[in-house]
Amino acid sequence: MLTAAGTRTRRPPRSLRSEYDQFIEQRIEEYKDSLARSEILGIGDEAMHELAGADQLQLTEVVLRDQVDAIIRRRLKLPSFRRWRERHLALRAAQSQPGHWGFTAHDPVATLGDLIEDGDPVLVIGASDGACALFLAARGAQVFVADPDIAAIYGLENRAVNEQLGAAIECEVVRLEHWSNGDAAFAACVIETAALASLAASARSALVQRLKDATPEAGRHAVMPGGQDRGAGCLSSDALRSLYADWTIVRATGSGRRPRNLGFTAIRPNASE
């Protein structure tokens, strides 16, 4: 994470065992949610029968629940930690590459991903297709997403579960003109410009200022190209450049002769600069 002095404070990596436990618990709960009440009661009866034949000194609700989970785990043939770890590391290696999510190495979110360390809090404004949030989560960030579109948020949450990144992403459905960080600070922020397209210019300006205030010195904003940049008639990323006149702007580069609307990175200067 970038500090006020521009140095980086190392954090210990996330525990793979913890991620594995979350994976197993998530799959078990998903399975339970898919069952009718009679089917769940049937698994409970099966668990009681197995416990009755074991050297179980005291039957408690916790013991019964654990046995039910063990039965479901067998039914789903969930992997051991060793097998899961091998697959998980291969998946994370793929997910940490920009191209896995359709980005190029020069996209603002891709360059931001190179600076992310485990646990860095990153805010993403706009759920879009979820690619920005998922990419940064795969890089180790703790990602917070704000978007007024409940369908987009649900879509991102479901995709995060399928990508085994749900624990690293927290979503909020909120009108962006009302968004506030409270006391939270973010190492970086990603702005999906399409999410700001419906806001009045004054509301966009006020939102960006709040985002800037929630970013520490040397922190970065990655402004991603919006719909207009890709022919959908939405807000251009260039429309936000003037709001960062007091920050350092780094333009994304493209292969064309006149690369435009490819997004940009804005870096908050240190107070001493």
pLDDT value at residue 4: 34
DSSP-assigned beta bridge partners for residue 60: none
Higher-pLDDT residue of 19 and 175 is 175
Q: How confident is the model at residue 3 (pLDDT cuts 50, 70, 90)?
A: very low
β-bridge pairing 220-224 and 188-192: parallel
Lowest-pLDDT range of 13-17, 138-142, 210-214, 263-267:
13-17
Is residue 11 predicted with pLDDT exceeding 60? no
**Strand ranges in the chain using DSSP code E only, listed in sequence order:** 121-125, 142-147, 169-173, 188-192, 220-224, 248-251, 264-267
**15 vs 109, higher pLDDT:** 109
Confidence at 5, pLDDT banded by 50, 70, 90: very low
Could you give phi then psi for residue 109, rounded to 5 degrees? Answer: -70, -30
CA-based Rg of the chain, rounded to a whole angstrom? Answer: 23
Sign of CA dihedral 94, 127, 144, 153: negative
User: Which pLDDT score, from 0 to 100, does residue 231 have?
Assistant: 40
- pLDDT score recorded for residue 12: 53
Predicted local distance difference test score (pLDDT) of residue 7: 37
pTM, 2 dp: 0.76
Question: Where is average pLDDT lowest: 78-92, 154-168, 224-238?
Answer: 224-238
Mean pLDDT throughout 38-55? 86
> For the packed helices 37-52 and 61-76, what is the interaxial angle rounded to 10 degrees?
110
φ, ψ at 189 (rounded to 5°): -140, 140
Distance CA 43, CA 58 (A): 19
CA dihedral 26, 93, 189, 178 (to 10 degrees): -20
> Has residue 102 got a pLDDT over 80?
yes
| Residues 198-233: tens digit of each pLDDT | 899 999 999 999 999 999 999 999 999 864 333 444
Mean pLDDT of the chain: 85
pLDDT band at 13 (very low <50, low <70, confident <90, very high): low
Statement: residue 77 has pLDDT above 90: yes
**What is the CATH number assigned to the segment(s) 102-267?**
3.40.50.150
pLDDT at res. 254: 60
- Dihedral sign for Cα 245, 142, 158, 173, please: negative
| 259 touches 253 (CB < 8 A) | yes
Average pLDDT over residues 38-59: 82
Q: What local confidence, expressed as pLDDT, does residue 95 receive?
A: 93
What residues does CATH 3.40.50.150 cover in the chain? Answer: 102-267
